[in-house]
Amino acid sequence: MDDRPNRPPSPSPYATFSREAWAALRADTPMTLDDADLARLASLNDPIDMDEVEQIYLPIARLLAFYVAARQQLFRATQRFLGHSETRVPYVIAVAGSVAVGKSTTARVLRALLARWPNMPEVDLVTTDGFLWPNAVLARDNLMARKGFPESYDVQGLLRFVSDIKAGKKDVTAPMYSHLVYDVVPGERTVVGSPDIVILEGLNVLQTGERPKNGRVTPFVSDFIDFGIYLDADEPLLRRWYVERFMRLRETAFRDPQSYFRKYAQVSTAEALETAEKLWAETNLPNLRENIRPTRARADLILKKGRSHRIDEVRLRKI
């Protein structure tokens, strides 16, 4: 018999919800998407259905609408206090997590839901892939094998982009990235006008870095984030999803003559599988462990996925 006294659980900065408990927080939030919308918004090998939207994403959209409204109310109160007008700045939502965890689908679904909220806010979505250094630069600096690691990004360019957004500048531009050619598209830019909300999706949006030893103050991209979301899953699942996606792309996008990865559509199944496993083990897993997962504790909302890509647990940071 264990005579040790029962100890209360250690306090956590997060409130944890089961899928069922979180789903109840939808309240009367209306469904504004249909099956055709989901088919358009879902990424390859990232299944999502109406149940997932109703039980997980509608409560998130409702929560974010409250947060944005509260921020706008605070803005108006500050204006009254100062006695003069300032430009209202967008509310920035970050979506972070490993490769193959479903960041793109989450970002697109949230954008669609928030843009169809009753007050019809303007919502822009930007991925940080455009801030990767062009392949020519990565090759020159022997960084192609480190693509996705912090040093493979134009961090200063990304920092200028988010700081300009939070300064209230209009028509801020960001480079565009093509997953087909696996490179930044020369001369192509995406323009962020003056939206109510900006969703910033990428591996690195919640990352910080080492402070310079010269004492200079250096901001990080995460300093400009109003609400951070981290998509989480166990390593074996992430590995499986990455390999499955690679093998599906081998049968689809890789067959395009312009695809950077076209050579993998022409090798044997065994060779392609070996390549996918190697890319996961040598690049994506180390990046996850060293740079991506350590940012999880910086998130305001952590969405934990299970085997079927469905979110089984939600953790919300306490205010």
Q: How far apart are CA 12 and CA 111, in angstroms?
A: 29
Q: Cβ atoms within 10 A of the Cβ of 106, count?
A: 25
Q: What is the mean pLDDT of residues 285-289?
A: 97
pLDDT at 88: 83
Residues 43-87 pLDDT 10s: 877 889 999 999 999 999 999 999 999 999 999 999 999 998 788
Which phi-psi region, left, alpha or beta, contains residue 171 (left: φ > 0; alpha: ψ -120 to 50)? left
Burial of 103 (0-12, 13-18, 19+ CB in 10 A): buried
Nearest CA-CA partner of 248 in 265, 231, 260: 265
pLDDT at 174: 97
Token reading at 298: 């910086």
110, 247 Cβ separation under 8 angstroms: no
Residue 115 host element (H or E): helix 103-115
pLDDT at 130: 96
Q: What is the mean pLDDT of residues 302-307?
A: 96
pLDDT at 210: 65
pLDDT at 212: 61
pLDDT at 271: 96
Residue 126 host element (H or E): strand 123-127
Residues 190-201 pLDDT 10s: 999 999 999 999
**CA dist 137 to 118, 147, 159, 219, 279, Å?**
45, 11, 19, 25, 20
Give the distance between the most distant pair of CA atoms in the chain.
71
Please state, for a pLDDT cut of 90, what percent of the chain lies above it: 83
**CA dist 275 to 88, 91, 244, 246, 265, Å?**
48, 40, 12, 9, 12
Q: What is the mean pLDDT of residues 22-48?
A: 90
Lowest mean pLDDT among 98-107, 245-254, 277-286: 245-254
Q: What is the mean pLDDT of residues 273-281?
A: 96
Nearest CA-CA partner of 65 in 107, 22, 123, 18: 123
Residues 211-222 pLDDT 10s: 666 666 678 899
Residues 80-123 pLDDT 10s: 999 987 888 999 999 999 999 999 999 999 999 999 988 878 99
Please enumerate in sequence order all residues whose Cβ is within 8 A of that of 250, keeping only pairs 6 or more positions apart, or say none. 261, 264, 265, 272
Kindly report the average pLDDT of the chain as a whole number. 92
Does 9 have pLDDT greater than 70?
A: no
The topology under which CATH files domain 14-317 is Rossmann fold (3.40.50)
